[in-house]
Structure 1
Amino acid sequence: MNCKTLGIILLLCAHALAMHAQSQGGAASDNNKDTAAVNLLLQQSKERFSDDPVKAISLATQAKDLSEKIEFVKGKANALKNIGVGNYFLGKLPEAIVYWNESLQLFESLKEDIGVSNVLNNIAAAYDDLGDNEKALEYSLRSLTIAEKSADNYRILAALNTVASIYYEKKATWDKALNYLLKALPLAEQVGDKDGIGVTSGNIGEIYFYKNDFEKSKTYYENSIKAYGGLSNSSYAYNGIGKIYLVKGDYNKALSYHNKALEIAEKTDSKHHMYLSFQGIANVYIAEKEYAKALLYFNKASGLAEELKAPRDLKDIYQQMAVAYAKNADYKNAYKYNSLYADVKDTLYNIDTDKKLNKLQFEFDLQKKEGQISLLTKDKALQDADLKRQKFARNAFAAGLGLVFLIAILIFRNYREKVKINKILDEQKVQIENLLLNILPSEVAKELQQKGQATPRNFDQVSVMFTDFKSFTIHADKLSPQELVEELNTCFIAFDNIIEKYGLEKIKTIGDSYMCAGGIPTPDKRHVHNMVSASLEIQEYIVLNNKRKIADGQEPWDLRIGVHVGPVVAGVVGKKKYAYDIWGSTVNIASRLESNGEPEQVNISASVYEIVKNDFTCSYRGKIYAKNVGDVDMYFVASSNNKLAGKVSASTFSI
């Protein structure tokens, strides 16, 4: 889904009120210095955002310099904000974020909640365009909180749209995004903000498009165009209607709307809208099987997307270009763009992994605080109980020897209770130690228990295996959540048993992907052979399991496996919630070998082949490009006595 145009209009919507705030602040500047010239420059800068962002930046820079000269802090804050907006319209998102952060500090020092909310929302829009959804959501929710506290409808409107744009990145949160947008639209109509109506209607139209409700989608897109009067930012809605006609098979109308969107984008020099239009036109030509024309526009789109540093959009464009080149019989370029697609995909995977780790750390810190509160409560209860026992003992002693027997009984009962508690604690200690051994290798777990930390280590030779189920998303859509998890659990338990049999170390599962390694943390001379044997046994299990599924009338689950060997760094992730993991190009290459493998086969690199070639039947199948490494030779492998051996083909790799 492509929704990165949302933030642009919101910036304009936010600046309408910013000018109002500037005019109020002018008369209150220190020493009665004239701020009218600063406000005029800011207004002129705002008017040039769409048609001449460079001029807008120049005017805002003059306003900043003059504000510094007359010590007009609010003027400087708004000037820095305008410079950021100009850079945003030029597609220079990192530069825009830098200027907005400077502006944010000044607004916070002035305790200007409206300005703070405005800039926070702008930063959120930029991070959204860069694909950093976590930061985008953080900043947009902060903006919304401040806006609602200030009862500022313009800020609320802007923040609602930005939060919605982040939520409808994923199908699972479309309804949540739609909820925010349906709150925003009447608010935009209430304040008479045409830009707000335009962007909100366009965003609602986009969600309905991906929900396949094309009638509602077209209605909201048309409302967006009407609100803009067919000008500048209506390019987004024209592209949306073009996509609807493409789905309906009316290629002429689809092309007409995409060309109209391109014409508007070129007039305003909006590079983001331009590459969306190029991509839309290319998709129409793909549908018409005019691959040469499609590639012409895909190349234009990819150039702009690369310039704007939009990795998520580049991923889609590279994938489409690889298919188009293959259809056009240009296999060299098809291979090139398939490799670029894989590189971007790997980058996004790493970004998503970092985000998941951050989220896990946050959840752990929260649990830790809750645990500390619980311990304090228990400690107080124990102290109270101790005081009561002391009081009771003093009273019992004063009552005389007649109560000694009663006291002895109470002491004995208390002793039995303590013995019972200690037994429970001992059992819990064993459970905790077993859980730690289930999460971490025994060597690492022992080091953590003894030293409180585990030192990362370099390993010169580690074998790494990745598995992944082909077309898993299709299987997931056809099964209930319970059936899906049960099937995955059955397979992964089988994988666990196999790798344990061969003395390998499970690293983690990622969705439907399974990762393990050999030769760590304890070196093993046979780890590469063991990894290949385990891979073949896993494929054999999947083949037998698929026969059972077919016999039961179910669809088979095909598995790809990739194996590579090389140096890695291994260690424990985080300081609190432990997870043993490995890093390095060896891991990335193993992942690439898996994604370029085939069902029922084990795809290995040349490094693995050189070690096992005398013990396994291997068949060369071509090369794969690995980032920072170059081309890597690939082989299918099977042991001579393995049931899969007969299925290994000598065909070379093709896209």
Structure 2
Amino acid sequence: MLIFILFIFLDSQIGVGQQEKKEFKKNDKTSDSADSLYKIAVSNYKNGDLKKALLNFEKSHKLYNQLLAFRKIGECNENMGLLNFDLGDFDKAEYYFVNALAAYKKENYKKGESGILNNFGALSYSVGKYSQAIEYYLKALKVQEEIKNEILSATIISNIGGIYSKLKDFNNAIIYYNRASVIYKKLNDKKGVAKILLENGYIFMKQKKSSEALSNFKQALAIAEKEDDRLLEIEILSNLGEYYFTESNYEKALFYYNRCLKFAEEQNSLQYKSSARISIGTVLIKQNKYKEAEEKCKLGYKYALQLKAIAIQEEACKCLYQSYKFMGETQLALEYHEKISSLNDSLKIEETSNKMMTMEFQKQQLVDSLSFVKKQHLAELKHKEEVQRKEKQRNYIIATLCLMMLVAGGLWSSLNFVRKSRAALKIEKDRSEELLLNILPEEIAEELKEKGSVNTQEHNLVSILFTDFKSFTQTAANMTPQSLVEEINVCFKAFDLIVEKYQIEKIKTIGDAYMAAGGLPHPFEHSFRNVLLAGLEMQDFITIRVAENKQNNIPAFEMRLGIHAGPIVAGIVGVKKFQYDVWGDTVNTASRMESNCEVGRVNISETLYDIVKDYPEFDFEYRGEIAAKGKGEVKMYFVNLKTQT
């Protein structure tokens, strides 16, 4: 999948105007030196000499700092961020982007601000944070409304299309790509056109439209070669390798993957040095060359760890798992299978609990160590006092000096230890808090950290949503354990994105059931509307997923979904592996709405119907009074979105 990054300063005019030099308010010699170094850095970047480019950007950055030329400071920082992105150092890239944004804001340079927000989006995309990436892209587009820069708008629109494509929402992806393509063609931006061809080729490949996919890839490659854009060429070669792999043409797949790896090595692109090796390893497994596959994927996994790219790590682990399985290395195969599971669910509650326990353990270590040092010092002081009383006057000065040196050394060691321990504690505390906020609402997490417990809360009116897969046991019996877990994970990941989109609180998953609540921990306007929209979107996702799986002859789950509204009690129970949960008859009734639903529909109670019946975007089907276990006869309604006319 493509990742678009804006190279918006590589072709900009470099500090040659008289007015700009006046703004620097410094001597012309420093200004000329800074501009000259910047031009050399741009040339290095275009020619693929990334290390020299980075060095010259750093030198020009220092001179621009002396001149207080904030726009140029921002441009240097942005280009250094882009260089580090190409080199696979995402942490450094983020550092430079933050500095660039600060400089642009001082200059009120809106074009630069928009470019940086787009780059933050690409950075989030690279590590799998898709919802965060979309937030950055939308912020960047908002700035574009002020400055109306078409080429930047096209790039950002393309990036949003890339997110939809990654999530397999190809219809929306194509809409955004077509919008961007119109702008690129209007501006005669050939590289932009090539990128859209590449993205459309990827979608055609996933839709199994082979001839259309290959045609788009080859058109994109011809443009990239003509424009001498090696980084774009690397991305196209990687996609061509994947295309021939899906066509089971392993020789051609290896040809394109090896070309991709060769150019990635030349450009020192850590991302493709990793992914290309893993792809080659995957092809070698198909050719029964398991040892060679293991060697390729091991190095690819090493680079993926440096990148901190979860998706690439997962592909490497899959490759190593298959290699070891076929070589009969059962223990190693099991080890990498477990890593796959861990990467699929890296934010488990157990991990949060373990991090907090580790933090508390280190804290206690620090306290114990300080106490031991203090006791040592007291013992030494008493010993020296005893020696002083027994020694003659001529030894008094020597004994005092020795004591002072010992105390000074002990205090220095203690201070150094405390400083290092506090730094380690802060790192673990920050990690634990980040994980905690992924499993609890923010204000609940703050209360838990402050008091060590959470007071239960009564809510008068909250909507509860339940989903459950029909005939789960029978369908699961036709699947391997790994494919079963993967299928549930795909569905629940999609549900997580949907509830986040509609500001709904995920409560928990129980086996194949998914539970969420609207209006927690605080009610907000249209929370009931949002719950209905979320439920309908979940059913749309499952419907599409079932169709895709059936087309590929893979077992699929059909789903029932029910929603009810009413009073509940919310809180946390237990002291280990804690979980935010809700209780009350409302929860039981919501469960009955689900169990009495039909596959593919959204079933709601009369209570919820009375609240949402006036919303214009919904149609409701009265089902009559239906017997619900433990509830008697209950009035129920199916809900649908009105057809747009």
Give the shorter-chain TM-score range.
0.5 to 0.7
Q: Distance in 2 between matches of 1:6 and 1:583?
A: 43
Q: CA deviation at 1:188?
A: 2.2
Residue-pair matches, total:
402
> What letter is aligned with 1:257?
Y
Give matches, 1:588-607, under 5 Å.
Answer: none
Q: CA deviation at 1:169?
A: 2.2
Q: Is the 8 A contact 2:264 2:273 kept in 1?
A: yes
Choose from 57, 61, 64 the match for 2:58.
61
1:203–1:38: structure 2 CA closer, same or farther, 3 Å change rule?
Answer: farther
Give matches, 1:107-506, under 5 Å.
Answer: 107-171=104-168, 173-229=169-225, 231-233=229-231, 234-347=233-346, 447-448=456-457, 470=476, 471=479
Worse-superposed segment, 135-144 or 200-209: 200-209
Q: Distance in 1 between matches of 2:569 and 2:202?
A: 40
Q: Is the 8 A contact 1:49 1:85 kept in 2?
A: no
> What letter is aligned with 2:302?
G
Q: Is the 8 A contact 2:202 2:239 kept in 1?
A: yes
1:461-489 CA-to-partner distances (Å, cap 9, x unmatched) read xxxxxx998459889999xx9xxx9xxxx
Runs of 5+ in structure 1 lacking a partner?
365-443, 451-466, 486-505, 516-554, 559-575, 588-655
Seq. identity, %? 19
SS at match of 1:168: helix
Give matches, 1:33-112, under 5 Å.
Answer: 33-34=27-28, 35-49=31-45, 51-112=48-109
**1:11 matches 2:20:** no
Q: Distance in 2 between matches of 1:183 and 1:355?
A: 38
SS at match of 2:332: helix
TM-score, scaled to structure 1:
0.54
Q: Is the 8 A contact 2:90 2:307 kept in 1?
A: yes
Q: Is the 8 A contact 2:177 2:196 kept in 1?
A: yes
Aligned to 1:29: 23
Q: Distance in 2 between matches of 1:178 and 1:245?
A: 23
1:369-411 CA-to-partner distances (Å, cap 9, x unmatched) read xxxxxxxxxxxxxxxxxxxxxxxxxxxxxxxxxxxxxxxxxxx
1:48–1:508: structure 2 CA closer, same or farther, 3 Å change rule?
Answer: same
Q: Distance in 1 between matches of 2:575 and 2:197?
A: 45
Q: Distance in 2 between matches of 1:187 and 1:579?
A: 52
SS at match of 1:509: strand
> What letter is aligned with 1:237?
I
> What letter is aligned with 1:207?
I
1:582–1:262: structure 2 CA closer, same or farther, 3 Å change rule?
Answer: farther
1:360–1:225: structure 2 CA closer, same or farther, 3 Å change rule?
Answer: farther
Q: CA deviation at 1:125?
A: 0.9
1:204–1:41: structure 2 CA closer, same or farther, 3 Å change rule?
Answer: farther
Q: Is the 8 A contact 1:22 1:74 kept in 2?
A: no
Give matches, 1:465-614, under 5 Å.
Answer: 470=476, 471=479, 508-509=508-509, 512-513=512-513, 578=570, 580=572
Q: Is the 8 A contact 1:148 1:156 kept in 2?
A: no
Worse-superposed segment, 321-330 or 26-35: 26-35
Q: Distance in 2 between matches of 1:187 and 1:23?
A: 30
Q: Is the 8 A contact 2:454 2:572 kept in 1?
A: no
1:52-74 CA-to-partner distances (Å, cap 9, x unmatched) read 32222211111111011122121
SS at match of 1:49: helix
Runs of 5+ in structure 2 lacking a partner?
353-432, 445-452, 460-471, 496-505, 516-554, 559-567, 580-645
SS at match of 2:308: coil
SS at match of 2:285: helix
TM-score, scaled to structure 2:
0.55
Q: Is the 8 A contact 1:6 1:203 kept in 2?
A: no
> What letter is aligned with 2:195?
V
Q: Distance in 1 between matches of 2:138 and 2:486?
A: 32
> What letter is aligned with 1:31?
K
1:146–1:33: structure 2 CA closer, same or farther, 3 Å change rule?
Answer: farther
1:59–1:21: structure 2 CA closer, same or farther, 3 Å change rule?
Answer: closer
SS at match of 2:170: helix
Q: CA deviation at 1:146?
A: 1.5
